[in-house]
Structure 1
């Protein structure tokens, strides 16, 4: 089993497969499914340092598109609920998000609460493109800072022998 897993990981780390893998995992991890894209991104960049910038951009794109998908799910859910019953008042927990507007999507990079923020932004019918822009900015800086820190600030802790 260990040999099979090692071969699979080596295959996924190849540049021709690695970037698409990073994209898919980043996309899925930006939905409400519990998954993290950072280990995949870090593994690819650790094995292929020349792919640092392409991997950061691909992860950002996949994660942003996943956030956009969550936004659409929230928007569609709200539309379906509105058909079933007229909208009354939003809960107090959503008020602060509504008050921040699309800028709240800067927080979409946060673990646990980031993905629901994207869905709730759609639920609140916040403007799609400003939300997307703020999602992309937050997610880009998360991937950039996290990967750079793991590669250059704490490299000894991640040395593979």
Structure 2
């Protein structure tokens, strides 16, 4: 059972970084298969994905020296788009860090903007937990 939670944590962590991993599919599959406690699965996925976003925040802190590297997780266009939105709406954009395409860029822009790590983690975790809660609820509904 520990391996199950570990696999979910790893998929959620990697999904928030540079690798194309779909933690939503893993979480939904576990819920529909009746594997693990839904509340604990929600927590593990949220923590893993939030910690993966912290990696992006750290990358954002060093963006000037890192963004031209091939492995950098966000294209210059996406980063500029996310930066504009981030400057316009501020830290509240972090509630949407789970979005495809711009979510990673928001977390990198937050690091570049030197957003307080505590505020960053709180807002990112709220958004990601809400997204995962919808997936858990959908999985439980599908099982009923």
TM, length-normalised to structure 2: 0.81
1:55 correspondence with 2:41: yes
Counterpart residue number, 1:32: 18
**Runs (5+) with no aligned partner, structure 1:** 1-14, 82-90, 157-161
Root-mean-square deviation (CA), in Å?
2.0
Counterparts of 1:35 and 1:92, CA distance in 2:
23
Greater Cα shift, 36-45 or 92-101: 92-101
Name whichever structure is richer in helix by fraction: 1
1:40-59 Cα deviation digits (max 9, x unpaired): 11222222355100000000
Provide the C-alpha distance between the structure 1 equivalents of 2:81 and 2:2, rounded to a whole number of angstroms. Answer: 48
In the TM superposition, what are the counterparts of 1:58-73 in structure 2 within 5 Å?
Answer: 58-73=44-59
Structure 2 unmatched runs, 5+: 67-79
Q: Give 4+ residue runs of structure 1 displaced > 4 Å after superposition.
A: none
Query: Secondary structure in 1 aligned to 2:97?
Result: helix
Partners of 2:137 and 2:26 lie apart in 1 by 14
With the length of structure 1 as denominator, give the TM-score of the two structures: 0.73
